[in-house]
Structure 1
Amino acid sequence: MPRSLPRPLLAVPLALALGLTACGGDPSGSDDPAAGSSNDAFPVTVTGADGDLTLEQQPETIVSMSATATEMLFAIGAGDQVEAVDDNSNFPEDAPTTDLSAFTPNAEAIAEYAPDLVVLSDDLNGIVDALDALEVPTLLLPAAETLDDSYAQLETLGDATGHAEEADEVVADMQDRIAAAIDSVPADAEGLRVYHELDPSFFSAASSTFIGSIYTQFGLENIADGAPDASGGYPQLSAEYIAGQAPDLIVLADTKCCEQSAEVVAQRPAFDTLPAVQEGRILEADDDIASRWGPRVADFAEAVAETLQG
Structure 2
Amino acid sequence: MNRRLLTTVIAAATLLLAGCAGGDDDGGATGPAPSASAAYPVTVGSLTLDKRPERIISLTPTATEMLFAIGAGPQVTAVDDQSNYPADAPRTDLSGFKPNAEAIAAKNPDLVVLSDDLNKIVDQLTKLKIPTFQTPSAKSLDETYSEIGQLGTLTGHQDEATALTGRMKADIDKIVAGVPKRDKALSYYYELDPTLFTVTSKTFIGSVFGKFGLVNVADPADADGSKNGYPQLSQEALVKANPDMIFLADSKCCAQSAATVKARTGWSQITAVRTGQVIALDDDIASRWGPRVVDLVQAVADAVAKVPA
Under TM normalisation by the shorter chain, which class is it?
0.7 to 0.9
- 2:94 aligned residue (95, 100, 113): 100
What is residue 32 of structure 2 aligned with on the other side?
A: 34
CA offset digits 1:91-140 (Å, max 9, x no partner): 11111111111111111111111111110101111111111111101111
Q: Does 1:170 align with 2:168?
A: no
What is residue 183 of structure 1 aligned with on the other side?
A: 177
What is residue 246 of structure 2 aligned with on the other side?
A: 250
Deviates more, 1:266-275 or 1:106-115: 266-275
Q: How many angstroms does 1:189 deviate by?
A: 7.2
3-state DSSP of counterpart to 2:260: helix
Runs of 4+ in 1 over 6 A off after TM superposition: none
Matches within 5 A, 1:1-310: 22-23=20-21, 32-35=30-33, 37-38=35-36, 40-47=38-45, 52-188=46-182, 191-227=185-221, 231-310=227-306
3-state DSSP of counterpart to 1:135: coil
Amino acid of the structure 2 residue aligned with 1:42: Y
3-state DSSP of counterpart to 2:78: strand
Q: How many angstroms does 1:38 deviate by?
A: 4.1
3-state DSSP of counterpart to 1:227: helix
Q: Is the CA contact 2:20–2:75 (under 8 Å) kept in the aligned structure 1?
A: no
Q: How many angstroms does 1:190 deviate by?
A: 5.8
Deviates more, 1:182-191 or 1:98-107: 182-191
Q: Distance in 2 between matches of 1:266 and 1:23?
A: 48
Q: Distance in 1 between matches of 2:180 and 2:135?
A: 36
Q: How many angstroms does 1:270 deviate by?
A: 2.3
Q: Distance in 1 between matches of 2:84 and 2:61?
A: 7
Residues 272/142 of structure 1: CA separation in 2 closer, same or farther (3 Å cut):
same
Amino acid of the structure 2 residue aligned with 1:60: E
Q: TM-score scaled by structure 1?
A: 0.86
Q: Is the CA contact 2:196–2:234 (under 8 Å) kept in the aligned structure 1?
A: yes
Q: TM-score scaled by structure 2?
A: 0.86
Q: Distance in 2 between matches of 1:169 and 1:56?
A: 24
Q: How many angstroms does 1:62 deviate by?
A: 0.2
Paired residue total: 280
Q: How many angstroms does 1:55 deviate by?
A: 0.9
Q: Distance in 2 between matches of 1:174 and 1:168?
A: 10
Amino acid of the structure 2 residue aligned with 1:149: E
Q: Which runs of 5 or more residues in structure 1 are unaligned?
A: 1-20, 25-30
Q: Is the CA contact 2:222–2:229 (under 8 Å) kept in the aligned structure 1?
A: no
Q: How many angstroms does 1:65 deviate by?
A: 0.8
Q: Is the CA contact 1:67–1:88 (under 8 Å) kept in the aligned structure 2?
A: yes
Q: How many angstroms does 1:41 deviate by?
A: 1.7
